[in-house]
Chain A
Amino acid sequence: MRRLNTNIINAVNSHENSITVNFKFNGKIYKGHKGESLASALIANDIAIVGRSFKFSRPRGIVGHWSEEPNAIVQVGSGAGTVPNLKATQVELYEGLEAKSVNGWPNVNFDLMSISGFFERLMPAGFYYKTFMYPRKFWKTYEKYIRKAAGLGKVPSEPDPDFYEKLNHHCDILVVGAGPSGMLAALQAGRAGARVIIADDQSEIGGSLLYSNSKIKKMSGYAWAKSIENEIRSFKNITVISRCTVFGYYDHNFLTMIERCTDHQSLTSDLGPRQRLHRVRAQSVILATGAFERPLVFANNDLPRIMLASSVSAYINRYAVTPGEKLVVCTNNDNAYKTAFDWKSLINDHVTIIDTRRAVQSEVIERAKAMRIKIIHGHGVIEARGRTRVKSVLVAPLCMSGKEIIGEATEIYCDVVATSGGWSAAVHLSSQTGVKPVWDNEILSFRPGQAVQSQKSVGACNGSFELKECIEDGISVGASEAKRLGFESGKPKQKIDLPETKDEHPTQEVFCLPHFKPLSRAPKQFVDQQLDVTAGSIELAAREGFESVEHVKRYTALGFGTDQGKLSNVNGMAILANALGKSIAETGTTMFRPAYTPTTFGAIAGREVKKLFDPKRYTPMHDWHLENTVEFENVGQWKRPWYFPKSGETMEQSVRRECVAVRNSLGILDASTLGKIDVQGKDAKEFLNRVYTNNFDTLNPGKCRYGLMLKEDGMIFDDGVCACISKDHYLIHTTTGGAANVLAWLELWKQTEWPDLDVFLTSVTDAWATATISGPNSRKLIQKVCSDIDFNNDNFKHMEWKQGLIAGIEARIFRVSFTGELSFEINVPSNFGLYIWNKLIETGAEFDITPYGTESMHILRAEKGFIIVGQDTDGSMSPMDMGMDWIVKSKKDYSFLGERSLIRADIVREDRKQFVGLRTLNDKQVLPEGSQIVRSKKQTIPIQMEGHVTSSYFSACLGHPIALAMIKNGHQRMGEIVYSPQSDGSVIELRIVNPVFYDPKGERQYV
């Protein structure tokens, strides 16, 4: 075990290290401490290899300690709850955790794919673009194997057993990151009274102070952070969300954050939502996302146990584990000296600092000397050696610029290398808003450009890498942002202790250390370890003519991995700039897009899955349908009864029974979903004349009229029956799916084109329940439940409506028919819908009343040749195409919508598709809907299409199949034989016929 005696730890063991848990990694059981990271536990158990590289299958170890980690990618859990592509550095340990490496076969220690390393030179940048082009037809074969080799981890094939949720937030200020600057910004804004949310992706807030040995006055950095946290949590107007990563920053200060609620307990724990997606709309955003330490690039720098210097400190100070015994610190800056100090003071083991800079007087050097740490100035690590982990490093003297070797190399034996090439500000989120990062030569990092939204960057992510600067920055920006938003001046109510300023020797501009051999010949110098992008491949890309940083990124895959190039981008840009002979500022950087870290689909879906996938609408009679074994059809969001199967019945049998019942006796349909729009006002009639093709001047109270609406292009938009309720008062019926669109369309015209009309539209779809009774016995039934209306044919004619009491309930009864049979549509206030339905079912029993659904309704209307807008039309049919010239009345005082388009040349041309009926010559063949129609069955390809089938059914009442279709010039082709080729190679022979198959004179509905 490489776990330190915690008694000698100087600071911050805040994890629950007293609880020992068992976990499994790559099939073996180990022990760790609850709450520490999986990476920490693996280091404690002296596991160096955690994965294999993507392209060359080289052994890889842990590099970082948080989201910047490129190598330690693991699959956690098993079965349905397994999650691929988690970073071991971010996985918190719990009892029973199971993790495995995502690549390496048969295992990560011995990977057969590592033979690809022998062919490294055959796999330069863009090799797949160059290699797999020939022979062309082999691509399908290549692709199969490339796909098999690609990808990290496996997604579960079973449904996700966990649930997720989304929360919406609004706040005055969102602070992203709870390091020193973020905490102070939140505190100051909160003190001023602003509504503040502060989110941090770690389990504790404090940022770098969680593992730093910094002192603030006489307190440890950790203790100081805890005191600030306590004050933050005392404010009700500050919400602290930990384990929460802000991964997307969009327009209008809308940000998305993912909170890991139970991942640290168990993937299948029954403790609530596994993850929560927070959707935050903030008036102002303060980004305090910190910075990532940049590794130096040198030969074989990917060997396990070559780590970031700050990460070595983090594992020692926060988790009390040590990755080895002999440390070499390889740096170009002062900051990495802290790691040497931590190592020396806590482990008291061998440590050597290799500094590329010449010796100067500085505090850290003096301290190192005082601690008897060996420092080699003006040298660099040019190559690491070892097979499965680092064993030694080659150190060579460098010139002043650090770009050339000026002497012999010496070998230093070690088992850990801590590397530091400076710091790169985490500009990802500001970049997501479209802000181009700008290079700052003073700090050797990109920093955010001018913000385009109400947003500020503070602390390290703004290029302030010194602790004191970060804290001052946070205090200042938190207060000023609160003040800008109208809250009281954010002066601190109590003094905040600040650390002392330290003189630092500047970081040297060195990114890639030289080697005796040129880049292309030297051992690989990895820039992006996750995707095996080397310094040589970037240089090669430049030689091949790729000059734009965006092109080089795509050609080499630099920064393409799940770590979004957090460690590699700046080094990559620097190497490219060098190859192009430009400065980094001239070369520029790539932009970042969401998601900052990988995000689960489950969290994005939230609760909108399974039952709650889409809102559902139910009619007042829904409960009755459920009790009577209905099958539902989704019509828009409505649940409409589709058919009512009796025990053992197939859908076909059920529908045939329902259709025959309506034709022979009595059926009942729940038609509550039909759109209903109340139209009132002194100009209501004029309004109807303008939106319908036919004339409403003659529609008097008590009468109904079928109407057709067109769009401006003359194409059918919707249809339905309009009833005149009283003078200046009408009720429009629309299709179920078209109700909302029709109302919006009418409002659009009313409000924008005809604001002078006094007409008012109110949706009353939900206010009325509708039961349609249809069939020869429908009059007998309605007479039994309604005594105050004379239903005699002379008194209550087809296309009339009357008001009366149905079973004691005030009702509107419309005598209209969509089946061709005698029918009554009974409308009652929705609260009485179920009551009336039950009453009709009970009373209709003596006529064997049969509930029927939408499928039977479709067949019954198709037998009559009635169209369904949206099924028989598709937005490209005019009234004339549908044989409905009779409903177009051009002699109105005011034109109607779409009228002008009806005389366009394209609409009056003769070969337009027209609405017809089809009969199969073989009475046993039912045409599939959507089938194409052709003129001859012996046509050669390309076959000329004559039309298509819009509706097709077997008519039980007629005893043969029927179909409706749109066929070119169909109205003139009655009796002609046409053909419909099918996907199975067969051809169905058809005759074009009149679309009215049943009761062509329409006598049954008038009885």
Chain B
Amino acid sequence: MSEPDQINSAIKNRTQNITTEIGNDEVGLIVREVSGELKINIQSRVEARELFRNFKGINSSSLAKPCTFFEYDMGRIFLLGPYEWLISTRNNIDKVKTLFGKKYVGYFSCVDVTDGYTELKLSGNLLDHTLKQSLTYDYFALNLEEETESFRCIQTNFARVPVLFWKTSKLSVNLLVRRSYADYLIEWLSILNSEEKLVVL
């Protein structure tokens, strides 16, 4: 029987380093499962600047900017809604909780949803075509090179599955998808790529 620490992936047929590659670098799409960071859902009606005051390295003015994420010293914080954030961090949940302080106990929720999500990184020359097929959102608008303090993210549907989507570089994007949909999404991407036979000029 497998040891617990070896079954940490939502994607079937995973390789040891939990990388699923479809196609190749030149013509194709590369899908990687990203793991290792905790995903923590935060909700509170406390003013964001005050709630996150102990988080180092963040620009508090960006905390309430819709459709953005920003980095702090231990990870990233995504704004999901007016009173809701998702923290992706290398910290453990207890350490994160202590950052909010005792003062606000009862006035915020802090839920570890790590196992509820699968993070996928998509790259390769078929990326643009794949996104056009899968996403109704204008991902061109995410390409905000002028932004320095916060980056754009969007909650939308990818292949009819709800995802949190953000661009990590010109040729790669990350998706955070509910774990139960991850296999379907991989199936979608596999079929897309296997039938495509596109030559990207």
Within 8 A of B (CB), among A152-183: 163, 165-170
Q: Quote the shortest CB–CB distance from B120 to chain A (angstroms).
A: 15
B2 touches A835 (CB 8 A): yes
Tell me whether A168 and B183 are in contact in the complex, defined as CB-CB below 8 angstroms, given that A615-B160, A764-B111, A808-B4 are known contacts.
Answer: no
Tell me whether A612 and B180 are in contact in the complex, defined as CB-CB below 8 angstroms, given that A168-B135, A764-B116, A766-B117 are known contacts.
Answer: no
Closest to B46 in A: A758
B36 within 8 A of A: no
Please give, as numbers and ranges, the residues of chain A lying within 8 Å of B113 by CB-CB distance: 762, 764, 766-767
Within 8 A of A (CB), among B90-130: 106-117, 129
Most chain A C-beta atoms within 10 Å of own C-beta, residue among B111, B138, B160: B111
Question: What CA separation (Å) do A838 and B113 show in the bound complex?
Answer: 23
Q: Quote the shortest CB–CB distance from B99 to chain A (angstroms).
A: 17
B170 within 8 A of A: no
Tell me whether A768 and B115 are in contact in the complex, defined as CB-CB below 8 angstroms, given that A831-B7, A831-B8 are known contacts.
Answer: yes
Per-residue interface assignment for chain A, residues 293 to 326, with 1 indicating a CB less than 8 Å from any chain B CB and 0 otherwise: 0000000000000000000000000000000000
A835 touches B107 (CB 8 A): no
CB-contact partner of A272 in B41, B43, B188, B195, under 8 A: B195
Tell me whether A618 and B183 are in contact in the complex, defined as CB-CB below 8 angstroms, given that A195-B140, A762-B109 are known contacts.
Answer: yes
Tell me whether A680 and B116 are in contact in the complex, defined as CB-CB below 8 angstroms, given that A168-B136, A615-B159, A615-B161 are known contacts.
Answer: no
Tell me whether A272 and B196 are in contact in the complex, defined as CB-CB below 8 angstroms, given that A168-B136, A830-B116 are known contacts.
Answer: yes
B56 within 8 A of A: no
Closest to B182 in A: A618
Closest to B45 in A: A758
Tell me whether A681 and B159 are in contact in the complex, defined as CB-CB below 8 angstroms, given that A617-B184, A619-B180 are known contacts.
Answer: no
B49 within 8 A of A: no
Contact residues of A: prevailing secondary structure: mixed
Per-residue interface assignment for chain A, residues 270 to 305, with 1 indicating a CB less than 8 Å from any chain B CB and 0 otherwise: 111100000101000000000000000000000000
Question: What CA separation (Å) do A165 and B193 show in the bound complex?
Answer: 12
A163 touches B116 (CB 8 A): no
CB-contact partner of B187 in A612, A763, A835, under 8 A: A612
B181 touches A169 (CB 8 A): no
Please give, as numbers and ranges, the residues of chain A lying within 8 Å of B140 by CB-CB distance: 170, 195
Per-residue interface assignment for chain B, residues 183 to 198, with 1 indicating a CB less than 8 Å from any chain A CB and 0 otherwise: 1100110011001111
A767 touches B115 (CB 8 A): yes
B12 touches A758 (CB 8 A): no
A829 within 8 A of B: yes
Please give, as numbers and ranges, the residues of chain A lying within 8 Å of B160 by CB-CB distance: 608, 614-615
B133 touches A165 (CB 8 A): yes
Question: What CA separation (Å) do A702 and B140 show in the bound complex?
Answer: 50
Please give, as numbers and ranges, the residues of chain A lying within 8 Å of B116 by CB-CB distance: 763-768, 830
Please give, as numbers and ranges, the residues of chain A lying within 8 Å of B9 by CB-CB distance: 831
B200 within 8 A of A: no
B155 within 8 A of A: no
Question: What CA separation (Å) do A874 and B178 show in the bound complex?
Answer: 29
Question: What CA separation (Å) do A615 and B181 show in the bound complex?
Answer: 7
Question: What CA separation (Å) do A242 and B73 show in the bound complex?
Answer: 50
Question: What CA separation (Å) do A167 and B140 show in the bound complex?
Answer: 14
Please give, as numbers and ranges, the residues of chain B lying within 8 Å of A547 by CB-CB distance: none
CB-contact partner of A767 in B45, B114, B191, under 8 A: B114
Per-residue interface assignment for chain A, residues 767 to 801, with 1 indicating a CB less than 8 Å from any chain B CB and 0 otherwise: 11100000000000000000000000000000000
CB-contact partner of B198 in A272, A614, A728, A762, under 8 A: A272
B19 within 8 A of A: no
Q: Quote the shortest CB–CB distance from A622 to chain B (angstroms).
A: 7
Closest to B44 in A: A760
Please give, as numbers and ranges, the residues of chain B lying within 8 Å of A809 by CB-CB distance: 4
A842 within 8 A of B: yes
A706 within 8 A of B: no
Please give, as numbers and ranges, the residues of chain B lying within 8 Å of A638 by CB-CB distance: 180
Within 8 A of A (CB), among B1-37: 1-4, 7-10, 12
Question: What CA separation (Å) do A168 and B134 show in the bound complex?
Answer: 8
Please give, as numbers and ranges, the residues of chain B lying within 8 Å of A766 by CB-CB distance: 113, 115-117, 178-180
B108 touches A615 (CB 8 A): no
A834 within 8 A of B: yes
Q: Quote the shortest CB–CB distance from B102 to chain A (angstroms).
A: 13
Closest to A166 in B: B133
A839 within 8 A of B: yes
B132 within 8 A of A: yes
B132 touches A168 (CB 8 A): yes
Please give, as numbers and ranges, the residues of chain B lying within 8 Å of A807 by CB-CB distance: 4
A169 touches B179 (CB 8 A): no
Within 8 A of B (CB), among A579-626: 607-608, 611-612, 614-620, 622-623
Within 8 A of A (CB), among B146-193: 159-161, 178-181, 183-184, 187-188, 191-192
A760 touches B195 (CB 8 A): no
A611 touches B191 (CB 8 A): yes
Total number of A residues with any Cβ neighbor in B under 8 Å: 56
Closest to A271 in B: B197
Tell me whether A758 and B114 are in contact in the complex, defined as CB-CB below 8 angstroms, given that A165-B133, A615-B160 are known contacts.
Answer: no
A832 within 8 A of B: yes
Closest to B117 in A: A766
A682 within 8 A of B: yes
B197 touches A272 (CB 8 A): yes
Question: What CA separation (Å) do A767 and B111 show in the bound complex?
Answer: 10
Q: Quote the shortest CB–CB distance from B109 to chain A (angstroms).
A: 4
Question: What CA separation (Å) do A433 and B198 show in the bound complex?
Answer: 35
B115 touches A830 (CB 8 A): yes
Per-residue interface assignment for chain A, residues 672 to 691, with 1 indicating a CB less than 8 Å from any chain B CB and 0 otherwise: 00000010111000000000
Q: Quote the shortest CB–CB distance from B88 to chain A (angstroms).
A: 15
Closest to B141 in A: A170
Tell me whether A838 and B133 are in contact in the complex, defined as CB-CB below 8 angstroms, given that A272-B196, A767-B113 are known contacts.
Answer: no
Per-residue interface assignment for chain A, residues 798 to 836, with 1 indicating a CB less than 8 Å from any chain B CB and 0 otherwise: 000000000111000000000000000000011110110
Closest to B1 in A: A838
Closest to A765 in B: B116
Please give, as numbers and ranges, the residues of chain A lying within 8 Å of B8 by CB-CB distance: 831
Please give, as numbers and ranges, the residues of chain A lying within 8 Å of B161 by CB-CB distance: 615
Question: What CA separation (Å) do A170 and B143 show in the bound complex?
Answer: 14
Question: What CA separation (Å) do A444 and B188 show in the bound complex?
Answer: 52
Tell me whether A762 and B2 are in contact in the complex, defined as CB-CB below 8 angstroms, given that A167-B133, A615-B160, A830-B179 are known contacts.
Answer: no
Tell me whether A612 and B191 are in contact in the complex, defined as CB-CB below 8 angstroms, given that A170-B140, A758-B106, A832-B4 are known contacts.
Answer: yes
B112 touches A615 (CB 8 A): no
Closest to B192 in A: A607
B133 touches A762 (CB 8 A): no
Question: What CA separation (Å) do A612 and B186 show in the bound complex?
Answer: 11
Tell me whether A832 and B187 are in contact in the complex, defined as CB-CB below 8 angstroms, given that A168-B135, A272-B198, A842-B1 are known contacts.
Answer: no
Please give, as numbers and ranges, the residues of chain B lying within 8 Å of A728 by CB-CB distance: 106
Q: Quote the shortest CB–CB distance from A531 to chain B (angstroms).
A: 38
Within 8 A of B (CB), among A619-635: 619-620, 622-623
Question: What CA separation (Å) do A638 and B180 show in the bound complex?
Answer: 8
Within 8 A of B (CB), among A121-170: 163, 165-170
Most chain A C-beta atoms within 10 Å of own C-beta, residue among B10, B112, B113, B161: B113
CB-contact partner of B188 in A279, A612, A830, under 8 A: A612
A611 touches B111 (CB 8 A): no
Q: Quote the shortest CB–CB distance from B80 to chain A (angstroms).
A: 11
CB-contact partner of A623 in B12, B45, B115, under 8 A: B12
The 20 sampled A-B contact pairs (Cβ below 8 Å) are A167-B133, A169-B132, A272-B195, A273-B195, A281-B138, A607-B188, A607-B191, A614-B160, A617-B181, A620-B10, A620-B179, A681-B109, A682-B107, A762-B113, A766-B115, A767-B112, A768-B116, A829-B115, A830-B116, A832-B115
10 further A-B contacts with Cβ under 8 Å, apart from A680-B111, A762-B113, are A273-B195, A617-B178, A619-B180, A680-B43, A680-B110, A681-B108, A681-B109, A760-B43, A832-B7, A835-B4
Question: Which residues of B line the A interface, CB within 8 A?
Answer: 1-4, 7-10, 12, 41, 43-45, 106-117, 129, 132-133, 135-136, 138, 140-141, 159-161, 178-181, 183-184, 187-188, 191-192, 195-198
The 5 closest A-B pairs by CB, nearest first: A767-B116, A682-B106, A760-B109, A680-B109, A170-B138
